[in-house]
Amino acid sequence: MTDTLTIRRPDDWHVHLRDGDIMRGVVPYTARQFGRAIVMPNLSPPVTSVEAGAAYRDRILAAVPDSIDFVPLMTAYLTDASKGDELARGFREGVFTAAKLYPAHATTGSAHGVTDVANIMPALEHMAAIGMPLLIHGEVTDHDVDIFDREAVFIERTLSGLVRELPELKIVFEHITTADAVAFVDGSGPNVGATITPQHLHINRNAMFAGGIRPHAYCLPVAKREKHRLALRDAATSGSAKYFLGTDSAPHATSAKESACGCAGIFNAPYALESYVTVFDEEGALDKFEAFASENGPRFYGLPLNEGTVTLERAVVSVPKTIDANGTSIVPFHAADEISWRLVG
Ligand code: DOR
Ligand code: ZN
């Protein structure tokens, strides 16, 4: 039995680091585990200009502990008014690595998102021409569509047409949650990849209702039926280069989660690698973990692989009930539970 695993230093291809005091509290968790991270732009106001992206990057860098090398990769938030020229300038200047498409009102901080992909087609054509990846929150926002079907319907109504129209555009289908998304990604060309979160590998929708309402198991896209979780575990551990690590760690104060209208988002940054590797271990696929965590992402983005390594060992880790993020109490994923792997360093 493999009891220790040393892999090339991994990256997180989808994370929310927030801003201000909470940011200073959560950045060290991500920086301790990952060489780089794709940082989501859904701040208030969102990061839409090159200057805002550069300033946010500086604030994140100032929160990274001195002893750690960590590179935040910034993203532009697409709105109906996004212009290809501004995105291209950010990409050329090395500020923006990618741009994020939130359908308007799909999730937290998406009120300024895109109301119709047709409105940003010129910008997307420009991105395709310069090789700038598009990152997609893939859910329709139509309230007549059942919340558990919104990802599958997005594929039908929006994503398949977009991929057909712009096959040269690199697209990351973010935080996929369904067998439908796996089938779509598998059936698409090499320009379509996907991130998978630890929570969608561990929990199905029952976790939100286990003995009562469980706000800390609620994120968007919401966890689906067991058959979908199993399809995601197969995809992540398959060895396919199309799938890579993206935690979607989304910290919210405990009080904002435990509320009559609790926020969507699961804070998984403190034990992200431990959480993922447990899944690969359970699936008998530890040999596939390095590709998923450290190789497929940078290859998709056209970036160099990290130097250096991290080591995980089989050991029981008790996850605390809450974590203090610079004065804000946040309940982490796996709170008050045990994981069977530990990050050694
Ligand atoms: O659960 C989520 N939380 N899903 C998202 O898409 C956004 C995120 C957040 O920013 O809190
Ligand atoms: Zn996200």
In the chain the domains, ranked by start, together with CATH numbers, are 10-307 (3.20.20.140)
pLDDT value for 345: 83
Mutate to test the pocket of ligand 1, among 14, 150, 173, 220 (most ligand atoms within 8 A of CB): 220
pLDDT exceeds cutoff 80 at 1: no
CA of 208 to the centre of ligand 2 (A): 19
pLDDT tens for 218-235 read: 999 999 999 999 999 999
pLDDT exceeds cutoff 90 at 323: yes
pLDDT exceeds cutoff 90 at 110: no
Section 29-40 average pLDDT: 98
State yes or no: is 248 an active-site residue: yes
pLDDT value for 127: 98
Distance CA 135, CA 116 (A): 16
CB 250 less than 6 A from any atom of ligand 1: yes
pLDDT exceeds cutoff 90 at 109: no
For the chain, the first-to-last Cα distance in angstroms comes to 21
Per-position DSSP letters for 202-265, written without gaps between them? H--GGGGGSSS--GGG--SSPP--HHHHHHHHHHHTS--TTEEE---B----HHHHSSTTPPP-
Place of tokens 């940082």: 39
pLDDT tens for 268-287 read: 999 999 999 999 999 999 99
CB 220 less than 6 A from any atom of ligand 1: yes
pLDDT exceeds cutoff 90 at 108: no
pLDDT exceeds cutoff 90 at 343: yes
pLDDT exceeds cutoff 90 at 106: no
pLDDT value for 326: 97
Mean confidence (pLDDT) of the chain: 97
